[in-house]
Amino acid sequence: MATVAARSVGLLSDATGPEVGYPGLTGTDDVEDVLAALNRMAGDLEQTATQLTHYLEDEFAAGNLTPEPGSIDQNAPTVAAARKALTDVQENAQNLTRLLTTAETAMLALRPGN
């Protein structure tokens, strides 16, 4: 599912690109729709990162995580690094949500000239 989401974002980028004449954008309403959808996606990314953190913690607590053969890493520092990175993802997704809300609000005030 994550691969499908990544491909979809790539297609969205293609549909909104100036190099191909913005084929997916016909007006400010389209921009508002894209911003609203990206905002929902950012919230979902935050939730997904939270769920991945819980899964990692549960698997570590259950003793299901072991280092790669030949690795000198201990489990606890590696899990801590992953937990920190996922926390950063959550915080960045929150920031992305705030920024997209600001952009969407600004777009609501814009209308194309006649």
Domain membership of residue 55 as a residue range: 27-108
More confident residue, 50 or 110: 50
Q: Is the pLDDT of residue 114 over 60?
A: no
In this prediction, residue 69 carries a pLDDT of 67
What does the pLDDT look like over 17-76, one tens digit per residue?
A: 999 899 999 988 999 999 999 999 999 999 999 999 999 999 988 888 876 666 666 678
Domains held by the chain: number? 1
Contacts of 93 (CB under 8 A, 6+ apart): 42, 43, 45, 46, 49
Each residue of 77-88: pLDDT tens digit?
888 899 999 999
d(C-alpha 43, C-alpha 8), whole Å: 17
Query: Is residue 61 in a domain?
Result: yes
pTM: 0.80
Residue 54 lies in a domain: yes
